[in-house]
Amino acid sequence: MEEVLEKILTTYRKEEGNIISILQYLEETFGYIPENAVNWFSKKLVIPASRFYGIATFYAQFHIKPPGKNIIIVCSGTACHVKGSDRLISGLKREFNLPEGEDTTADRKFTIERVACVGTCGMSPVALINKQVYGKMTANKLIKEIKILKGKKTGR
């Protein structure tokens, strides 16, 4: 891990980046912001870890907890909302038996996220399964896609 972090540090110095760019590199590399990585940078740059977390928790792009292997994003923009994105979410939660407040399945295979708008409103409601966009979705269609994924060996 240290090697990876060194590499990020070098790029950051070369590009005159800031805390946000470090966090973006971490998010890109690990899929979330690992605590030990933050501590490492905090020591190297003599910036308190709280500054990193203050920023990480402010922006929606950063995840503090590791996500599941497959990420399902349901768009909750206005156009998707009026075309029933809530039903997609509740359908998914039922399918995965997710308790209130939890967004990743116990086996860590799936994470459900809702985002404000992915910008493909012309084909609402929209969901993304591992970055692939699916338009004009219904809960049943979405679950069918997920079942195909469950059948396969899952992985990003």
Partner 1 sequence: MRADIKIKVCMGPSGIATGGADVIEAFKNEINSIGKKAIIEERCSLHQVGCLGFCAKDVLVEVVVDGKKTIYEYVKPGMVSRIVKEHILEGNPVTEWIAGEEYYNFHKKQIKVVLSNCGEIDPEDINAYLAVGGYEAARMALTLMSPEEIVEVVKSSNLRGRGGAGFPTGLKWDLSLKIKSDVKYVICNGDEGDPGAFMDRSVMEGDPHSVIEGMIICAKAIGSHQGYIYVRAEYPLAVKRLQIAINQCYEAGLLGENILGTGFDFDLKIYQGAGAFVCGEATALMRSIEGKRGMPTPKLWRSAEKGLWEKPTVLNNVETFANIPRIILKGADWYSSLGTERSGGTKVFALTGKMKNAGLIEVPLGITLREIIYDIGGGIENGRAFKAVQTGGPSGGCIPAELLDIEVDYESLALVGSIMGSGGMVVLDETDCMVDIAKFFLEFTQAESCGKCIPCRVGTKRMLEILNRITVGNAKEGDIELLEELGQDIKVTSLCGLGLTAPNPVLSTIRYFRNEYEAHIKDKKCPAAVCKDLITFSILEEFCNGCGACKRACPADAIIGKRKKIHKIDPEPCIKCGTCFDVCKFNAIMKM
Order the strands of the 110-115 sheet from edge to edge. 110-115, 70-75, 127-129, 132-134
Distance CA 121, CA 78 (A): 8
55 interacts with partner 1 by CB under 8 A: yes
Would you say how long the chain is, in residues?
156
141 interacts with partner 1 by CB under 8 A: no
* Total residues interacting with partner 1, rule: CB under 8 A: 43
122 interacts with partner 1 by CB under 8 A: yes
121 interacts with partner 1 by CB under 8 A: yes
Q: What is the C-alpha R_g of the chain? A: 18
- With H, G, I as helix, E, B as strand and everything else as coil, classify residue 136: coil
* Closer to partner 1 by Cβ: residue 44 or 108: 44
81 interacts with partner 1 by CB under 8 A: yes
Contacting partner 1 (CB under 8 A), which of 7, 11, 50, 59? Answer: 59
Distance CA 121, CA 108 (A): 30
Least distance CB 115 / partner 1 (angstroms): 7
Q: What is the DSSP letter of 104?
A: B
Site string for partner 1, 94-113 (x = CB under 8 A): x-------------------
Distance CA 76, CA 57 (A): 20
Task: Give the footprint of partner 1 on this chain (CB under 8 A).
Answer: 17-21, 23-24, 54-55, 58-62, 76-79, 81-84, 87, 90-91, 94, 115-124, 126, 133-135, 138-140
